[in-house]
Structure 1
Amino acid sequence: MTGPRVAIGGFMHETNTFGPSKAGLEAFVEGGGWPSLSEGPALINATRNVNMGICGFVEAAEAQGWDTVPTLWCAASPSAHVTENAFETITNQIVDGIRSVGRLDGVYLDLHGAMVAEHVDDGEGEILTRIRDVIGPDVPLVASLDLHANATRRMFDMADALIAYRTYPHVDMAETGRRSALYLRRLMSGERDAKAFRQVPFLIPIAWQCTSVEPGRSLYARLPALEERGIGSASLLMGFPAADFADCGPSIVVYAPSQEIADKAADDLLRAVAEQESAFSGRVYSPREGVLHAMKLADSASRPVVIADTQDNPGAGGDSDTTGMLRALVEADAKRAAIGAIVDPLAAIRAHEAGIGARVRLSLGGKSGIEGDAPLEADYVVESLSDGHLTASGPFYGGARMQLGPSACLRLGDVRIVIASRKAQMADQEMYRFVGIEPTKQAILVNKSSVHFRADFEPIAEAVLVCAAPGPMPVDPAALPFTRLRKGMRLSPNGPFFN
């Protein structure tokens, strides 16, 4: 007798509706630091041994002897809206794939939870609805979500379970896939839980959503404790606070043996988050302040001081090409400093044409039209070249095979710059090494990332600083020009109300 027949697929995008560039179909074909778009059986091999939800789910399904039916899986770097063409093309392929396979015992989707398309605000809600229309009300439908998901009532209603990551940096993405498989097994055996959904009434800046420090550490410690006491599944979603639609923001999802138990657990979690509202904050430096402080710390440090260039985080919709932090390093005459990655395909091509050792005049970065930002024109030395292929082996990417296109290490003074042709968040030490920069030997490292870099860089860091150079993802979401949030939502912890 064969095991349960389960369709699997995935469509992942975190949308910053204020970002400078949209995600077309080609962005998902390329993958943006993740495996490229894969269909049918190829998606299993493409995502195997990578820290992704679908990888963990497939491993658990294989261990239980399930018959998995792969449809399509893809991901792209966060950006502005997913284009209508990309959304419809990818969604239709997943839905048609599920429709075509006949009898199913369950469906699993690897989703992000904060996708906004040009024509659909609630991307995941639309995907789940279309799949529910195909499979009917009785086939269990489970989706794993990013911790930053902006969960909606429609998503909650359409899925039998939404199960979210519990770490930021997301070192548990594959583990969340495994937890999703275990919960789907319960559903396919006939068990059903009552469920509860709550939305938190304030936005949380992503720089302070980290789960390795307070208050995130204590809040997320509550979730496994609840499950040890009989709750089927509990998720706290911090939300992605740069999506201009009504359901942007944190939420709580609980599945439990009775409605009373589910409601109590959800209300207790909501109260716990509210009690920690003031704790979602931290010190933010200007570029000059941050660099000067890092240089002072570096004078007596044996390890690099790491700076987060948080407002141009490509993991939050930035184009990874602003020059504010680079200017600050150069103007302060920083020594043994490195920054990465600045995405500038033309500069990368020029560097390859010039060759190693050449000095080349470039107008570097600053192409995304961010207010207060501009290209940095100077004579750069080409120190090394790369085709952009690397394996990011740190705990966040977890073995992802990246293709960043023509890349190089440029030097300006004693500042080394990783330049690439395609964007991916600077969250792995290999993203310096692939162009010949050894991160552990630098005095200062500036990473275009908000929190994910911490997983691989905190172990080698003397200190971690957060700087706010011009970029599309403000540290404080209250600085964003929202027009469509739900009434009464606060734009930051203890911040102003949306009106």
Structure 2
Amino acid sequence: MRYSLKAFNIDCLMHQYKISINTLIIPNVMKKITHGIASLIVASILFFACTSKQKSDKELPRIAIAGLLIESSTFSPAVTHEDAFRTFTGDSIFNLYSFFSPDSLIINEAIWLPTLRASATPGGIVTREAYESLVQKTLNRLEDALPLDGLFFDIHGAMSVQGLDDPEGDFIVRIREVIGTDVVISTCMDLHGSVTPRLAQNTDLITCFRLAPHEDALESRRRAVTNLLSRLKSGKGKPAYKAWVPVPILLPGEKTSTRVEPGRSLYAAIPSVLDNNNVIDASIWMSYPWADEPRNHGVIVTYGDDKEAVGKAAEKLAEHYWSVRHDFEFVAPTTTWEEALQKAIASNKKPFIISDMGDNPTAGGAGDVTWTLTRILENPEFKKSNGKSIIYASIPGEAFVNRAVELGVGGQIDATAGAEVDNRYAPPVRIKGTITAIEHKEGRDQVEVVVKSGNASVIVTKKRTAYHYEKAFTRLGLNPRETDIVVVKIGYLVPELYNMRADWIMALTPGGVDQDLMRLDYKRINRPMFPLDKDMPDPDLSAQFIPLSNNIKR
């Protein structure tokens, strides 16, 4: 093939490679060479640099990115439809991961082919229609991206779908049917997800978060990506061995937080079992207790190139996990709603935060259970002039919000909200008071309203939402730091609320993510299971070696 120097835009190439004639030619020599000849030399250099770069690009691995994330409670009457998912396609996916920024090292290590990544606030079971739609859109984009060397598969691991057990396992099988078994798949998950043998076999490098709350989410995803790059660039490809150990423990995240023992030491033990390529990574999944499915139980997965080391690492972590099962306690004092409120009223610390746990939307609750708010508005403490101040965040009520928008700030409203999805514990709650704020969220079909009823400021939203940040309150004209009591629909406090609290208690309230697991009507999980069966015998914690993904496990 013949190449013409005229085919090169010399100025553009010189700018791209940050080269100038003056930097290429020794000044004394420059006097003896005409500018035209110098340009020819530069063009020749750039020609070889460009063809070398083209060759280098061809050698870069082709890695796709895909993901589908939600945790879904089967104990909630809520149902999740496709419009609940925030979907990113193409290059917009890069904005979700800071390690793919233009100035990062990773971005230049591969030819990245982002396909589709969808996530939703935890909620009820996903409709089969929504699941099939999102999966098929992903498969179509993956097919367009072929051929591939690798795939970064970003999932939560606790998605429930109507009529389908193990959705993530089903999804990865369908991915394999499109991309083939030669592609190396690296999967990152939430530690509250579940790993079946099918999911473990069809992925090659699998990891999960090591902190709860998940302050290491990006770090864990980066680990999944860098491990994938390392195996592809080195030519080692799929690790030779994967060990899987089921641990019959099923506990809520509020009892397994890594802020406290024994969760802190259990997860801190992971680095001690890693050994370069012998044991590349190890992970501990706590699973998700609010889905009544056989796959839900603790799991250990390790992988690497040394069979004995991989097996021993998995067994060591599994035995550690089982040995501390009786030591898991709630991360904060936990009691009934009545006692929690009494403690908050008696306290002189601001803010005293109460976690209204049973309907926590970030764990899969419907978010519209009115049981707690009904009791707040009935309490005389929040009606008297010298009573304690309280913020409640939040209750959804679209009709209520629409009426408030009509009335405007300063208007008087008397209407009901909540219990449109989950009315098992209380009917819609009547809220009567003054509208103090109306906030329209840009780019989202969301409106938030604050109603002052006595000393209680109630946040009512068009759509259910979680309140994790101080600015979520302050932009509504609320000052949580100077409020006596702040009630949030949450379990363990996320970092910003945790740092804001002057005191904190978790209330065992009812809902689709009830923290009192003994009140849940399990029918399908494997038994015996700790702590439901406290006197169960010790399980077999021997490592089970999972076949490589060379054959698709359906």
Aligned partners of 2:300 and 2:338: how far apart in 1? Answer: 39
1:20 corresponds in structure 2 to: 77
Are the structure 2 counterparts of residues 195 and 56 from structure 1 closer, same or farther at C-alpha, using a change threshold of 3 Å?
A: farther
Residue type at the aligned position of 2:149 = D
Q: 1:226: Cα distance to partner?
A: 2.6
Among candidates 124, 142, 147, match of residue 80 of structure 1:
124
SS at match of 2:124: coil
Provide closer, same or farther for how the CA distance between residues 286 and 388 of structure 1 changes in structure 2, counting only shifts above 3 A: farther
Q: Is the 8 A contact 2:360 2:513 kept in 1?
A: yes
Residue 140 of structure 1: CA displacement? 0.2
Aligned counterpart in structure 1 of residue 447 of structure 2, from 396, 402, 406 = 406
Residue 256 of structure 1 deviates from its aligned partner by 2.9
Three-state SS of the structure 2 residue aligned to 1:80 is: strand
Cα distance in structure 1, aligned partners of 2:102 and 2:283:
21
55-64 vs 185-194, which deviates more? 55-64
Distance in 2 separating the partners of 1:58 and 1:76: 27
Match of 1:248 in 2: 296
Deviation at 1:57, TM superposition (A): 9.7
Q: How far has the Cα of 1:371 moved from its partner?
A: 2.6
Other-structure match for 1:262: 310
Deviation at 1:483, TM superposition (A): 1.6
8 Å Cα contact 1:15-1:79 kept in structure 2: yes
Give the corresponding residue for 1:68.
Answer: 112
Per-residue Cα deviation, 1:199-221 (whole angstroms, up to 9, x for no partner): 11121123212111112111111
Q: Which one-letter code corresponds to 1:74 in the other structure?
A: A
Of all paired residues, the percent bearing the same amino acid is: 27
Distance 1:232 1:404 in 2: 44
What is the alpha-carbon distance in structure 1 between the residues aligned to residue 337 and residue 374 of structure 2? 9
Distance 1:207 1:414, change over 3 A: same
Question: Match for 2:354 among 288, 307, 324?
Answer: 307
Q: Which has the larger displacement, 82-91 or 435-444?
A: 435-444
Distance 1:414 1:56 in 2: 47
Does residue 290 of the first structure (1) align with residue 345 of the second (2)? no
- Of 277-286 and 154-163, deviating more is 277-286
Structure 1 residues 137 and 239: CA distance shift in structure 2, 3 A? same
TM-score, structure 2 length as denominator? 0.80
| SS of match in other structure, 2:125 | coil
Match of 2:419 among 366, 372, 385: 366
Task: Judge which range, 359-368 or 245-254, deviates more.
Answer: 359-368
Q: Return 123-132 or 436-445, whichever deviates more.
A: 436-445
- Distance in 2 (CA, whole Å) between partners of 1:60 and 1:489 is 45
Q: Is the 8 A contact 1:370 1:471 kept in 2?
A: no
Alignment of 1:165-184 (within 5 A): 165-184=209-228
Amino acid of the residue matched to residue 256 of structure 2? Q
Q: 1:52 maps to which residue?
A: none
2:363 maps to a residue whose letter is A
CA contact (8 A) 1:290 1:307 kept: yes
Alignment TM-score, normalising by the size of structure 1:
0.89
Q: Which residue of 2 aligns with 1:42?
A: 92
Matches of residues 86-485 of structure 1 in structure 2 within 5 Å? 86-188=130-232, 189-191=234-236, 192-227=239-274, 231-282=279-330, 283-297=333-347, 299=348, 301=349, 303-330=350-377, 331=379, 333-334=381-382, 335-389=388-442, 403=444, 405-451=446-492, 453-485=493-525
Distance in 2 separating the partners of 1:429 and 1:14 = 25
Q: Does 1:10 align with 2:54?
A: no
Structure 2: runs of 5+ lacking an equivalent: 1-55, 383-387, 538-554
CA-CA distance at 1:123 after TM superposition: 0.8
After superposition, the Cα gap between the structure-2 partners of 1:423 and 1:241, relative to the gap in structure 1 and judged at 3 Å, is same
Gaps of 5+ in 1: 29-35, 50-54, 390-401
Residue-pair matches, total: 468
Query: Which consecutive segments of 4 or more residues in structure 1 shift more than 4 A?
Result: 55-61
Checking the alignment, whether the CA contact within 8 Å between 1:57 and 1:181 is kept in structure 2 is no
CA distance in 2, matches of 1:233, 1:58: 27
Cα distance, 1:121 vs structure 2: 1.1
Counterparts of 1:60 and 1:222 in 2: how far apart (Å)? 30
What is the CA-CA distance between 1:306 and the residue it aligns to? 1.2
Q: Is contact 1:115-1:121 (8 Å) kept?
A: no
In the aligned structure 2, how far is the partner of 1:198 from the partner of 1:58? 39
Q: Structure 2 vs 1, CA of residues 369 and 102 (structure 1 numbering), >3 Å: closer, same or farther?
A: closer
Structure 2 counterpart of 1:294, one-letter code: A
Once the 2 structures are TM-superposed, how far is the Cα of residue 378 of structure 1 from its aligned partner? 3.5
Task: Mark the CA change 1:374 to 1:245 in structure 2 (over 3 Å): closer, same or farther.
Answer: same
Residues 268 and 70 (structure 1), Cα distance of their counterparts in 2 relative to 1, 3 Å cut: same
Q: Aligned to 1:485, what secondary structure does the other structure show?
A: coil
**Correspondence for 1:396:** none
On the 8 A contact 1:248/1:485 being kept in 2, the answer is yes
Structure 1 residues 160, 48: closer, same or farther in 2, change over 3 A? closer
Name the counterpart of 1:33. none
Q: Secondary structure of the residue that 2:460 maps to in structure 1?
A: strand
Cα gap change, 1:428 to 1:211, in 2 (>3 Å)? same
Distance 1:433 1:227, change over 3 A: farther
Cα 1:218–1:445 change in 2 (3 A) is same
Whole-angstrom distance in 1 between the partners of 2:296 and 2:467: 25
CA distance in 1, matches of 2:140, 2:214: 31
How many Å separate the matches in 1 of 2:536 and 2:518?
7
Distance 1:422 1:106 in 2: 38
Alpha-carbon contact 1:310-1:467 (below 8 Å) kept: yes
Once residues 503 and 65 of structure 2 are traced to their aligned partners in structure 1, the CA distance between those partners, rounded to angstroms, is 42
Question: How far is the alpha carbon of 1:494 from its aligned partner?
Answer: 2.8
TM-aligned CA deviation for residue 149 of structure 1: 0.3
| CA RMSD after TM alignment | 2.2
The residue type paired with residue 373 of structure 2 is L
Compared CA separation, residues 147 and 232, structure 1 to 2 (3 A): same
Is the radius of gyration larger for structure 1 or structure 2? 2
Q: Is the 8 A contact 2:369 2:422 kept in 1?
A: no
| Offset of residue 324 of structure 1 | 2.7
